[in-house]
Amino acid sequence: MALLIHILACSFGVGSWVAVNGLWVELPLIVNTLPEGWELPSYLTVIIQLANVGPLLVTLMHKLNPGCLKENIVIYSILSIGVLSCILLAFFWDRTTVFAGASHSTAFFVIIFFLSLVDCTSSVTFLPFMMQLPAKYITTYYIGEGLSGFIPGVVALAQGVGMAICVNSSETSGNNTGSLHTEYLPPNFSTEVFFFILGAMMCISLAAFVALNRLPRIYELSTENLVQDTVPSVSSGLDNSGAETDGERVRNNGEMANQGSHMMAKYSMYQLTIIYFLVAWVNAATNGLLPSVQTYSCIPYGNLAYHLSASLASVANPLACMLAMFFQNRSLIFLGILTVVGTGFGSYNMAMAAMSPCPLLHGTAVGEAIIVLSWLFFTGTLSYVKVMVGVILRDQSHNALVWCGAATQMGSLVGSIIMFPLVNIYRLFKSGDFCNTECPLIPQN
């Protein structure tokens, strides 16, 4: 039974962000087709964050009328919407309309909004539902959430997107100008097939949720089921007197001593402020600030660098979750240091985007390798922080997890709002053609 629940929890977690994560790893192909080009990621970050109306409504319901919201019904609804949206996206992703004299990917943006509504709302519904299971299944759920980026990344690698070649115009037009232009090799399978695969993954997540609801409740519920909390605040969840009795009992069980002490851990308001700041900042960086400029950061090194950065960075997320399963360090000092390290990699990525279309080591294999590794470590370090703060807050109360989801979406929203005008209005980041961009030559020794 335990193995089955682990498999179902992991499959359920896959549906949390599979649509949006799949979209990001497919962008190296999409940006070459849709009219928005390199600016497309900045549009997507804003559209995704506009979908925060979903978690906002859920959070307000928890605060204003605790217990009235049936999370099971909400989850059934959003997963069904996710399946339908993936199917529609496969048929209409490249349809454009003319507005104000320019072509826009209207259908693509509308469908992405509904997919984002699904994924954003999952942040404040999936985790609270998972509280009904023992604590060990939370990490399994996070692995599934990480796989929601890893699996599409592997599929994208198999698809072969993002391969670009420079072709002399005289070879195709018959003239002697000798100018170069960029041509993109066709993928091994189409974008439509990719979106159908995302839809299949959403179906698996929906089936796993149905199975979790139908399993006989023969397992012991976790400490959050001590729902004496009636006031929808984070601090109230820390004053659960029943948790202390259970903690004393656990400490008497030898091997379970450390787990009991973790579940007994209480945090001051100052420490809680630090924890929620980490949640907000990490998600602002990974969901808003950096994704908006990944095209400017990577494409100057070539579409292959962009493709590998997007696909391989998605591998770092589940690896960080698996690391958290075997190495759990809840020290706020350690998590703070790790956040600084991850922010350092993110700063390098942002700096390269600001220098686009001529970043450091442009046109060299070393530059390509560094930018790919920087995105990989940026994602990996901050993903570990995400998991650990989730585990910490999970051991506090139901409301702590709800507010964790709210802080997650608030950080993501602020990050995307900051970047959108910088990219699309003030034009601080410059695009260029991979084959025709002229950059200063690197001195040869």
Domain boundaries, the chain: 1-162+189-220, 267-437
Relative orientation angle of helices 40-50 and 106-122, to the nearest 10 degrees:
50
Q: HSE (CB half, 13 Å, CA atoms) of 290? A: 30
CA 300 centroid distance within chain: 24
Q: Return the pLDDT at 265.
A: 63
What span, in angstroms and rounded, lies between the C-alpha atoms of 151 and 24? 12
Q: Return the pLDDT at 260.
A: 45
What span, in angstroms and rounded, lies between the C-alpha atoms of 336 and 385? 8
**Equal CATH topology for 1-162+189-220 and 267-437:** yes
Looking at CATH, the fold of the domain delimited by 267-437 is given as: Growth Hormone; Chain: A; (1.20.1250)
Q: Which CATH superfamily is domain 1-162+189-220 in?
A: MFS general substrate transporter like domains (1.20.1250.20)
Spans of the chain below 50 pLDDT: 218-261, 263-264, 444-445
Q: Return the pLDDT at 242.
A: 37
What span, in angstroms and rounded, lies between the C-alpha atoms of 93 and 72? 30
Q: Return the pLDDT at 178.
A: 57
What span, in angstroms and rounded, lies between the C-alpha atoms of 391 and 91? 39
Q: Return the pLDDT at 228.
A: 36
Q: Return the pLDDT at 287.
A: 87
Model pTM? 0.80
